[in-house]
Structure 1
Amino acid sequence: MGGSYEIKYDISDFERGLGELINRLEQRQPLMRELAAAMHDAVEENFAQQGRPARAGWSPRYVRTRQGGKILQKRGRLVSSISEYHDNDSATVGTNVVYARIHQEGGTITIPARSQRAYYKQHKDGSVGNRFVKKSKSNFSQWNTIGENKITIPACPFLHLTESDVDGMENTAQNYLQRVIDG
């Protein structure tokens, strides 16, 4: 009796399974959608907590003058402008509000010298009050020249992820990969 005895592994099943896995991994839009949503939630939390870590550089007096004591939320335009985008290869969160950059990075704004009409209330004795009033309440106005001035705005990075945000996103990605592998 002749012949040979062998154990043979046919790789075609493995290659087919690997090909299916690669195809599933190439469709990453669901993962990118989850990551964009997680980043959006993190940015909204930054606004809610006035920064994580807390924003520095704002005087307590300034914070008290803000509506509800909230920095960056006078009218809510900036926070409501945050939008998310995702495609197969990226997840993005951002804003197109023009003044967002100065809040994110900080900086100095130079307001040029200018002339403008100011409205006052003139009393019956001829004296003029030293407070501005609305034009409709005024009976006296004059042109004033205001010199150049600078306003320094500390950085308030609202487009920021904390370490725990990043950890959560890494867990989201790992869970997604496990779901893909498990089929």
Structure 2
Amino acid sequence: MAGALLEVTIDTALVGKAFDDLMERLGDLTTPLNDIAEYLHQSTDNRFRQQVAPDGSPWAPLAPSTLARKKGGRILRDKGTLQDTLRHSVSGNELAFGTDRPYGAIHQFGGKVQHAARSQQVFFRQGKDGSVGNRFVKKSKSNFAQWVTRGAHDTEIKARPYLGLSAEDDIEILAIIQDYLLEPFNE
């Protein structure tokens, strides 16, 4: 899975023991891991709506240049593509949860994006008095065109972590494991 991937490492004795007991009882963790994955989808969707990291801290605000071109000012939710591409994979006793989008990692961890120099023709509408408007128009509606060039430049993307486990997530995952451990006793 390319993009951003959450690896859940269980390092507390309590959760580790619960997983050991569950593996011993079930032999196969596919069903509880799928339930955990479903919970992670819900939890991560909630974080997208609240625009917060797993630790509850708010995501970095958008740059003024980004706000000027976006409608609504919602962070990481312009079209909802990133949020809609969260996937999970359960294989044996392993759960992978994340996105397959290559840009998922830059939003999770932050970093620098390098843009190559480029040129393109832009189209405007020229008035009868010879003045050229300052808005781009479609080529078919244009009567004035010019070539513009933008040099190579870098853009810094701030980290906006959306993958990870909160303290509440830890508790819920333990509850899911506990339900499977206690299932034979509740029948």
TM-score by length of 2: 0.75
Q: Which residue of 2 aligns with 1:26?
A: 27
Kindly state the Cα deviation for residue 46 of structure 1 after the two structures are TM-superposed.
1.4
Three-state SS of the structure 1 residue aligned to 2:135 is coil
Name the amino acid aligned to 2:183. Answer: R
Percent identity, please: 36
Q: Whose Rg is larger?
A: 1
Q: Which residue of 2 aligns with 1:91?
A: 95
Relative contact order higher in (CA < 8 Å, ≥ 6 apart): 2
Kindly state the Cα deviation for residue 86 of structure 1 after the two structures are TM-superposed.
1.6
Name the amino acid aligned to 2:40. Answer: M
Q: Which residue of 2 aligns with 1:109?
A: 113
Kindly state the Cα deviation for residue 146 of structure 1 after the two structures are TM-superposed.
1.2
Q: Which residue of 2 aligns with 1:162?
A: 166
Root mean square deviation, CA, Å: 2.5
Q: Which residue of 2 aligns with 1:47?
A: 48
Q: Which residue of 1 aligns with 2:76?
A: 72
Name the amino acid aligned to 2:168. Answer: S
| Stretches of structure 1 lacking an aligned partner (at least 5 in a row) | 1-20
Return the alpha-carbon distance in structure 1 between the equivalents of residues 24 and 168 of structure 2. Answer: 31
Aligned length: 163
Q: Does 1:143 align with 2:147?
A: yes
Name the amino acid aligned to 1:34. Answer: D
TM-score by length of 1: 0.77
